[in-house]
A and B are shown apart, each in its own frame.
Chain A
């Protein structure tokens, strides 16, 4: 089930852009590798100026979707458009001039130093800014003359981010950039990303399997599971429309009165449990969840607060 109700993003420069053509658009995209269908009829639209969080478990198809966006891989069916034009043939190379990309595994030429990489990238990106690049390198505390191959994972990620941002991209695509980082490095990296993009016009497409990575960044998220988009909307909406109720099962426990919620269109994300405990997770489709006082809940039931991660897990488990 895909919720396509798009909320206004909170990102400063995105206000009043809801009707503007998306910067990146995947329409009915299917991608197969042999007999394995990795993406199936995927529809995904990233608006100019927004920070889009792309969530999904490992193997959900996030990196494949990004390869399609980058024009590295063509879809089997459907259309991939970036900057309003399909990503095909020579158009891919042109479009990439305005895309900053940070891959999951940073794999630049290991013999190059950041300084040499800067010179190399300058020849490829027309809007490349040496000033910004060196400023970022300084800010990220990266040595100029050490070979990139000898960098730690965190340093490589910061170098990749520096290069991606110095290209002055219209869209920055981050493909699980924090994968493999220790918690400290991850937090530092995310704060750098936040600082660099939050007050700029750059559109950001941030793919991750950790909702914490994008919790404080994303205007909108898409949740991918098994090659399908199972949720698309804002984090706030996800949080305010979802509720979890639980009951310790006793002889006096009543059944949860789902019928009484009629008039508030909802879907049941989870309902079940065992002999001792029952849980119901509901998501309202049109409005915020209705306020149900504890006293109004049936005998034995109580509302349990949910973190975004709990909601993400519940939505993913709903599919299986």
Chain B
């Protein structure tokens, strides 16, 4: 009688809201099912079970928790309820049972509807239906139990929701702990929730029920602990002290997670082809993909094996991840794509590559390897220049699968690139503090050449040992991600560290290196290359044009020439010089080609891939030159534009300018 009285009270208070909620959910279910049926590739209507468990059901549980519990405690009617002739747990029990009934009832309605639709094409046996009901109702009841416990936590509930969502997100996305095998995660994320007909997932069900029981128990404990005073106190608005406590809890939680955090190991890269070469001493795989490319793969393997030997001989034995290089003949000879599997994975066109290009591939692999070894510490701006220069220094020094002439020419080209880069950037360039800006402006290939030249200079000044010492300090010390390490890094002074190891003041080193680099241009083989490039500066614009709406303009100029005025640009009547074949190989013609690359840039995009989908290239000559293309970006869009010159003296294009311009 008393229980019924409380049930009636709940129904009178929340009946309308519950009816509206059920109606809304059922309508949403019908709409979802109808949409699913009308899709081109319709899947089983039973898929809506998973969908509901991700959306409607937790939302329903959340709303009910707020209606049945939070609202009641906020009304401050606790003393009145307690003074009534009933046991303290009865009103709470009624709320719990009513909530459980509605949530599981909605789940059951969903199941019945989905089964009704699915039965048209599928056999829904009682056993199958029973298994579906067992799994989905167990999950629905868990959701309600969680919301029940959290709703009773009064003013702490928002914090608990944040912690709950944060924990689940962390466990599913970041943590090394695999929870997809556990209880509700196993039931929900298995992918077979709606399709398994025979196997009853006893383990996952038991774990789900245990969790349900635990949350239910916690809820009742909060409600009844100390004569209900805990729930009553929690239902009061938060005081300043509570806000402080919440802040400390969240900060503590985040700190603990950061300390416990272990990065999951990536899965091995699956190379199933028989067209592969594997290293003997090192875990290197070159997938050449076709018989014709095997010969081109061999020197890459030999070179890379030798690089790894050199690396370990130079800085000591270090654990190296597997390395993969995969042949891709759709790429230009100088082009490569660097990715990460369980180790470096580089795609390049092996058959088109010569010695210089192969060195680039190998440098990329070493770069990625040391990134893994240092836990990505090496790409921090302070150390990135050193990583780039150090890896290139190893590959340049390798004598494997190359002739002395090839190696010599390669080094001249690299130094010429460094000389040009310095001329483009000016004398204020600082490797430690501006590396990202440098790489963004002149591109990674030139930035790497600058870093390489700096290490050549350092070796000339202080010997090779200091470089190895710097490598041990900056590249091999594993990067710790937790908060303690972050605090330590705060106080870390990189130029001071450089001076400690090398004995050179950083500013003086930079000044000396820049002078030395300028003097390198006196070497004829270097000067021949640097003088082949007429341009040293560039500018990009988006201008209005009467005929074409808007044009993208990229202007090139020699160092002593003024950049052309973009407002005076006129689209040439003949487009003969415009390279319309949109293939990268075309740009490798034995002539100087000016290239305007462009791409849409998002609001927070920083570095852009150097391989652009969009570009305009033209054979160029004269002291100034302007490349144009038609702007397809909308007004207000940001366009990332780079200016590059491709010339026979250099394997990779030389970038002179990069800028993000907003389309007017």
Contact across chains for A107 and B4 when beta carbons are under 8 A apart? no
In the complex, besides A103-B80, A124-B85, 12 extra interface pairs with C-beta distance below 8 angstroms are A70-B83, A93-B87, A96-B84, A96-B86, A107-B75, A109-B13, A110-B75, A111-B75, A123-B4, A123-B5, A124-B5, A124-B84
Q: Which chain A residues border B313 with CB–CB below 8 Å? A: none
Is A188 on the interface with B (CB-CB < 8 A)? Answer: no
Contact across chains for A109 and B5 when beta carbons are under 8 A apart? no
A176 → B minimal CB distance (Å): 13
Q: Which chain A residues border B1 with CB–CB below 8 Å? A: 123
Q: Which chain A residues border B2 with CB–CB below 8 Å? A: 93, 123-124
Is B496 on the interface with A (CB-CB < 8 A)? Answer: no
Expressed in whole angstroms, the Cα–Cα distance for A90 and B89 within the complex equals 11
Closest A residue to B84 by beta carbon equals A124
Contact across chains for B82 and A97 when beta carbons are under 8 A apart? no
Q: Which chain B residues border A106 with CB–CB below 8 Å? A: 80
Q: Which chain B residues border A70 with CB–CB below 8 Å? A: 82-83
Expressed in whole angstroms, the Cα–Cα distance for A96 and B79 within the complex equals 13
Contact across chains for A73 and B227 when beta carbons are under 8 A apart? yes
Expressed in whole angstroms, the Cα–Cα distance for A101 and B82 within the complex equals 11
B91 → A minimal CB distance (Å): 11
Q: Which chain A residues border B77 with CB–CB below 8 Å? A: 107-110
List 9 A-B pairs, minimum CB-CB distance, nearest first. A123-B5, A96-B85, A97-B85, A101-B83, A107-B80, A72-B82, A108-B80, A93-B85, A107-B77
Contact across chains for B83 and A94 when beta carbons are under 8 A apart? no
Q: Which of A74, A93, A103, A106 has the most CB of B within 10 A?
A: A93
A251 → B minimal CB distance (Å): 60
Closest A residue to B2 by beta carbon equals A124
Contact across chains for A107 and B78 when beta carbons are under 8 A apart? yes
Is A92 on the interface with B (CB-CB < 8 A)? Answer: yes
* Contact of A94 (CB < 8 Å), options: B13, B85, B227: B85
Show 15 A/B contacts (Cβ-Cβ < 8 Å), sorted by A.
A70-B82, A72-B82, A92-B87, A93-B2, A97-B85, A99-B85, A103-B83, A106-B80, A107-B79, A109-B13, A116-B12, A120-B5, A120-B8, A123-B2, A125-B85
Contact across chains for B84 and A103 when beta carbons are under 8 A apart? no
Q: Which chain B residues border A105 with CB–CB below 8 Å? A: 76, 79
Expressed in whole angstroms, the Cα–Cα distance for A93 and B82 within the complex equals 9
Interface residues of B in 43-80 (CB under 8 A from A): 75-80
Q: Which chain A residues border B75 with CB–CB below 8 Å? A: 107, 109-111, 149
Expressed in whole angstroms, the Cα–Cα distance for A99 and B84 within the complex equals 9
Chain A interfacial positions (CB closer than 8 Å to B):
70, 72-74, 90, 92-97, 99, 101, 103, 105-111, 116, 120, 123-125, 149
Is B484 on the interface with A (CB-CB < 8 A)? Answer: no
A73 → B minimal CB distance (Å): 5
Is B116 on the interface with A (CB-CB < 8 A)? Answer: no
* Contact of B87 (CB < 8 Å), options: A90, A103, A110, A116: A90
* Contact of A103 (CB < 8 Å), options: B9, B12, B79, B86: B79
Contact across chains for A93 and B86 when beta carbons are under 8 A apart? yes
Q: Which chain A residues border B82 with CB–CB below 8 Å? A: 70, 72
Q: Which of B8, B9, B13, B79 has the most CB of A within 10 A?
A: B79
Expressed in whole angstroms, the Cα–Cα distance for A90 and B227 within the complex equals 14
Contact across chains for A111 and B85 when beta carbons are under 8 A apart? no
Q: Which chain A residues border B5 with CB–CB below 8 Å? A: 120, 123-124
Expressed in whole angstroms, the Cα–Cα distance for A107 and B75 within the complex equals 8
Expressed in whole angstroms, the Cα–Cα distance for A116 and B11 within the complex equals 13
Expressed in whole angstroms, the Cα–Cα distance for A120 and B80 within the complex equals 12
Expressed in whole angstroms, the Cα–Cα distance for A190 and B172 within the complex equals 64
- Chain B residues touching A, majority SS: helix
B200 → A minimal CB distance (Å): 40
B70 → A minimal CB distance (Å): 14
Closest B residue to A89 by beta carbon equals B87
Contact across chains for B86 and A124 when beta carbons are under 8 A apart? yes
Closest B residue to A123 by beta carbon equals B5
Q: Which chain A residues border B78 with CB–CB below 8 Å? A: 107
User: Count of chain B residues with Cβ under 8 Å from any Cβ of A?
Assistant: 21
Closest A residue to B71 by beta carbon equals A111
Expressed in whole angstroms, the Cα–Cα distance for A74 and B8 within the complex equals 29
Q: Which chain A residues border B8 with CB–CB below 8 Å? A: 120, 123
Contact across chains for B76 and A107 when beta carbons are under 8 A apart? yes
Q: Which chain A residues border B85 with CB–CB below 8 Å? A: 93-97, 99, 124-125
Expressed in whole angstroms, the Cα–Cα distance for A74 and B5 within the complex equals 26
Expressed in whole angstroms, the Cα–Cα distance for A299 and B78 within the complex equals 61
Q: Which chain A residues border B13 with CB–CB below 8 Å? A: 109, 111
Expressed in whole angstroms, the Cα–Cα distance for A95 and B8 within the complex equals 23
Q: Which chain A residues border B84 with CB–CB below 8 Å? A: 96, 124
Q: Which of A92, A97, A107 has the most CB of B within 10 A?
A: A107
Q: Which chain B residues border A74 with CB–CB below 8 Å? A: 227
Expressed in whole angstroms, the Cα–Cα distance for A198 and B76 within the complex equals 32
Expressed in whole angstroms, the Cα–Cα distance for A169 and B464 within the complex equals 99
Expressed in whole angstroms, the Cα–Cα distance for A116 and B75 within the complex equals 16
Contact across chains for B80 and A109 when beta carbons are under 8 A apart? yes
Q: Which chain B residues border A125 with CB–CB below 8 Å? A: 85
Interface residues of B in 12-42 (CB under 8 A from A): 12-13
Closest B residue to A74 by beta carbon equals B227
Q: Which chain B residues border A94 with CB–CB below 8 Å? A: 85
Q: Which chain A residues border B87 with CB–CB below 8 Å? A: 90, 92-93
Contact across chains for A120 and B86 when beta carbons are under 8 A apart? no
Q: Which chain A residues border B4 with CB–CB below 8 Å? A: 123
Q: Which chain A residues border B79 with CB–CB below 8 Å? A: 72, 103, 105, 107
Contact across chains for A96 and B9 when beta carbons are under 8 A apart? no
Q: Which chain B residues border A99 with CB–CB below 8 Å? A: 85
Q: Which chain B residues border A109 with CB–CB below 8 Å? A: 9, 13, 75, 77, 80
Closest A residue to B74 by beta carbon equals A110
* Contact of A72 (CB < 8 Å), options: B12, B76, B227: B227
Closest A residue to B88 by beta carbon equals A72
Contact across chains for A72 and B80 when beta carbons are under 8 A apart? no
Q: Which chain B residues border A72 with CB–CB below 8 Å? A: 79, 82-83, 227
A300 → B minimal CB distance (Å): 54
Mask, B75-116, CB within 8 Å of A = 1, is 111111011111100000000000000000000000000000
B10 → A minimal CB distance (Å): 11
Expressed in whole angstroms, the Cα–Cα distance for A106 and B5 within the complex equals 20
Expressed in whole angstroms, the Cα–Cα distance for A82 and B83 within the complex equals 14
A8 → B minimal CB distance (Å): 31
Expressed in whole angstroms, the Cα–Cα distance for A109 and B227 within the complex equals 20
Expressed in whole angstroms, the Cα–Cα distance for A90 and B78 within the complex equals 19
B1 → A minimal CB distance (Å): 6
Q: Which of A99, A116, A123 has the most CB of B within 10 A?
A: A123
Expressed in whole angstroms, the Cα–Cα distance for A125 and B1 within the complex equals 10
Expressed in whole angstroms, the Cα–Cα distance for A73 and B232 within the complex equals 14
Expressed in whole angstroms, the Cα–Cα distance for A124 and B90 within the complex equals 12
Expressed in whole angstroms, the Cα–Cα distance for A5 and B84 within the complex equals 34
Expressed in whole angstroms, the Cα–Cα distance for A120 and B94 within the complex equals 15
B574 → A minimal CB distance (Å): 83
B52 → A minimal CB distance (Å): 31
Contact across chains for B83 and A96 when beta carbons are under 8 A apart? yes
A250 → B minimal CB distance (Å): 56
B346 → A minimal CB distance (Å): 67
A81 → B minimal CB distance (Å): 17
Q: Which chain B residues border A73 with CB–CB below 8 Å? A: 227
A109 → B minimal CB distance (Å): 5
Expressed in whole angstroms, the Cα–Cα distance for A108 and B75 within the complex equals 8
Expressed in whole angstroms, the Cα–Cα distance for A115 and B8 within the complex equals 14
Closest B residue to A149 by beta carbon equals B75
Expressed in whole angstroms, the Cα–Cα distance for A124 and B78 within the complex equals 16
B634 → A minimal CB distance (Å): 53
Expressed in whole angstroms, the Cα–Cα distance for A53 and B8 within the complex equals 37
Expressed in whole angstroms, the Cα–Cα distance for A175 and B80 within the complex equals 12
A157 → B minimal CB distance (Å): 13
Q: Which chain B residues border A124 with CB–CB below 8 Å? A: 2, 5, 84-86
Expressed in whole angstroms, the Cα–Cα distance for A97 and B84 within the complex equals 8
Interface residues of B in 579-620 (CB under 8 A from A): none
Expressed in whole angstroms, the Cα–Cα distance for A120 and B1 within the complex equals 11
Expressed in whole angstroms, the Cα–Cα distance for A120 and B4 within the complex equals 10
Expressed in whole angstroms, the Cα–Cα distance for A271 and B601 within the complex equals 91
